[in-house]
């Protein structure tokens, strides 16, 4: 189940939605929300590796951009991981429904968020850097929908076709998970068997995702995943707040 979920998450991760597939799959196999989140973060490292292979045409000539934004998301992701580990597990359980609902809203509004004239703000400027760093914090803390937010920020700054912007987003966003995953591996309740199964699927899905997404009806997929995420948020919210 987790291998299949990983493949699907890797494919949807091309548009920033991996955690909206992989996180519920980990809950479905019985992991506690906090355990599922840290396990998911460790496994998600593999999606960037697959994306590098699947997005080579779009990444040509963008190495410096990927490294620049990757460093920012790495720093932000590390801060997000510290925030997660420093807060009580119960607080995370209560926050997750709202985070997923926010991700669903971001996904539904994605076309408006990325509709812009190319390069309207300086891609090396402080506002873009601060926004990327902030998204990195979110990615390190939870992450679902963070890819959509990162795409929206980069789409405002990069004078490139959206496919090339999306490739930068996918690979540089993966940096947010690196130090977070390392920290979680040392001190958090990571379920390594689940990591292995999920990561194998994510690697395959991340490599195949760019080619598949190019031919899928984007609007239908976006709205279907958004609706499913909202239903998940409602279900988790009812469970979390009823228990509380």
Give the Cα separation of 38 and 23 in Å (integer). 10
**Is 0.85 surpassed by the pTM of this model?**
no
Give the Cα separation of 114 and 31 in Å (integer). 35
Q: Structural domain of residue 73, as residue ranges?
A: 2-243
Q: What is the pLDDT of residue 214?
A: 66
Give the Cα separation of 234 and 230 in Å (integer). 6
Q: What is the pLDDT of residue 118?
A: 55
CB 51 within 8 A of CB 174: yes
CB 10 within 8 A of CB 50: yes
- CB atoms near residue 90 (< 10 Å): 13
Q: What is the pLDDT of residue 117?
A: 59
CB 205 within 8 A of CB 13: yes
Give the Cα separation of 80 and 63 in Å (integer). 25
CA 231 to chain centre: 19
> What pLDDT digit, counting tens, does each position of 145-192 carry?
677 778 778 877 888 877 788 788 888 888 887 888 888 888 888 999
Residues of the chain short of pLDDT 50, as ranges, are none
CB 47 within 8 A of CB 10: yes
In angstroms, the Cα distances linking 26 to 32, 86, 236 are 9, 22, 13
In angstroms, the Cα distances linking 107 to 66, 67, 154 are 23, 26, 15
Q: Report H helices in the chain.
A: 2-12, 19-28, 33-54, 56-59, 63-86, 89-108, 110-114, 126-141, 146-157, 162-174, 176-187, 192-213, 218-243
Give the Cα separation of 32 and 43 in Å (integer). 16
Give the number of domains in the chain.
Answer: 1
């Amino acid at each position: 189940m987790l291998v299949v979920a990983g493949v699907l998450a890797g494919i949807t991760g091309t548009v920033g939605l991996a955690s909206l597939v992989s996180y519920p799959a980990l809950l479905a196999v019985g992991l506690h929300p906090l355990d599922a989140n840290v396990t998911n973060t460790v496994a998600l490292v593999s999606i960037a590796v697959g994306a590098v292979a699947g997005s080579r045409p779009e990444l040509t000539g963008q190495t410096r951009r990927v490294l620049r934004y990757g460093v920012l998301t790495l720093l932000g992701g590390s801060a997000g991981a510290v925030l997660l580990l420093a807060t009580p597990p119960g607080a995370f359980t209560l926050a997750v429904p709202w985070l997923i609902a926010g991700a669903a809203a971001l996904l539904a509004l994605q076309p408006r968020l990325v509709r812009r004239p190319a390069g309207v703000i300086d891609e090396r400027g402080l506002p873009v850097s601060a926004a990327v760093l902030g998204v990195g914090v979110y990615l390190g803390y939870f992450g679902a929908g963070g890819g959509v937010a990162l795409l929206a920020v980069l789409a405002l700054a990069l004078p490139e076709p959206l496919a090339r912007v999306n490739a930068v987003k996918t690979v540089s966003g993966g940096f947010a998970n690196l130090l977070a995953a390392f920290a979680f591996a040392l001190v958090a309740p990571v379920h390594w068997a689940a990591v292995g199964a999920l990561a194998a699927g994510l690697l395959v899905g991340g490599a195949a995702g760019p080619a598949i997404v190019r031919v899928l009806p984007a609007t239908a997929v976006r709205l279907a995943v958004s609706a499913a995420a909202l239903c998940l948020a409602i279900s988790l919210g009812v469970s979390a707040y009823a228990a509380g």
